[in-house]
Structure 1
Amino acid sequence: MRIGIVPFQEQDHDRLVEIWYEAVRDTHTFLTEEDIDFYHQMVKNGALDEVELWVEQNENNVPRGFIGLDGTKIEMLFVDPKYHGKGIGTRLIKHAEAIKGGNLQVDVNEQNEGACAFYKRYGFVRTGRSELDSSGRPFPLLHLSKTEASADER
């Protein structure tokens, strides 16, 4: 039985895509159906393979959330909406800090106010902004960083 945060297992791929989809529909209200379909295809067809994935599972080994890392950069963090507010995102960030150190970065959609507030609570501060997302679409990104010093100040 794998309980807690574990490395990605290929058999969990479809469940992670499902978590991504449900979380995006719940939190990315600024996206159109066409936008969601565009990104959904990317996630289904390889985006998860581009990052180091860690998955939080329940006692039945069912994924509830995941974080994707590229070095010290958080490329994705999604939690099943049924478990929002239950500490999964917090545990995933703490796991990233434990394995990568306290200097982390993340890009977050400017329109995703919930995510902006979430990262701010954990000591991330704005270091820049881009008008377009990484796919060249008109969804501004805020570039956020967290240093070990900012973690100590909390």
Structure 2
Amino acid sequence: MSTAGPGPRESAPALRRAGAADAPALAEVWLRSYTAALPGVRRAHTDDEVRAWFRHVVVPVHETWLAEAGDGRITGLLVLEGTELEQLYLDPAWRGKGLGDRFVALAKSRSPEGLSLWTFQVNAPARRFYARHGFVETERTDGAHNEEREPDVRMAWTPVP
């Protein structure tokens, strides 16, 4: 399976709701992205546990969106739970190409009253990305309440009236 980014003539991936058949590919994107973006953060679950979580929880229970390239490759994912942006992960080859911006715009359109999220304090690129999209830090913790036991940051976006 190729993980290359878009070629010179390839159009932007299409965003669509995920279905049960997408769960395996979504889990693989999550695993690749987490490994690339957070190499120093302990993962609380094995690869197989992550795959089962996508199959039994993420896709069937939460509002899950994906980005799909023209050749059918899944290139990113967005998971929403009400006003909580639960997950936003991109295949590493697709970072910096505007896909994350499209997912945040979609999340804001789905939750126009506002959004909040958690990210790890060590994930400075994610914190900068969300700040660029109007999210502000509202809380910092020592990580005692997340499975990774990693200090984290709560961020929120509130629309301007």
Q: State TM-score, norm by structure 1.
A: 0.85
**Contact 1:66–1:79, Cα closer than 8 Å, also in 2:** yes
Q: 1:89 maps to which residue?
A: 100
Q: 2:73 maps to which residue?
A: 62
> Distance in 2 between the 1:146 and 1:99 partners?
13
TM-aligned CA distance change 1:100 to 1:55, over 3 Å: same
Q: CA deviation at 1:134?
A: 4.6
Q: 2:127 maps to which residue?
A: 116
> Distance in 1 between the 2:47 and 2:152 partners?
19
Q: Which shows bigger deviation, 121-130 or 59-68? A: 59-68
Map 1:1-154 onto structure 2 (within 5 A): 4-31=14-41, 35-36=42-43, 38=45, 40-46=47-53, 47-49=57-59, 50-101=61-112, 103-132=114-143, 134-149=145-160
Structure 1 or 2: larger helix share?
Answer: 1
TM-aligned CA distance change 1:133 to 1:44, over 3 Å: farther
**Contact 1:51–1:75, Cα closer than 8 Å, also in 2:** no
Q: CA RMSD in A?
A: 1.9
Tell me the amino acid that sits aligned with residue 133 of structure 2. Answer: Y
> Distance in 2 between the 1:59 and 1:133 partners?
42
**Structure 1 runs of 4+ with >3 Å offset:** 39-42, 133-137
> Distance in 2 between the 1:135 and 1:40 partners?
18
Percent identity between the two aligned chains: 23
Tell me the amino acid that sits aligned with residue 22 of structure 1. Answer: R
For structure 2, the 5+ residue unaligned runs are 1-12
TM-aligned CA distance change 1:146 to 1:83, over 3 Å: same
Count of residue pairs the alignment pairs up: 145
Q: State TM-score, norm by structure 2.
A: 0.81
> Distance in 1 between the 2:127 and 2:35 partners?
17
Tell me the amino acid that sits aligned with residue 66 of structure 1. Answer: L
Q: CA deviation at 1:98?
A: 1.3
For structure 1, the 5+ residue unaligned runs are none
> Distance in 2 between the 1:5 and 1:77 partners?
13
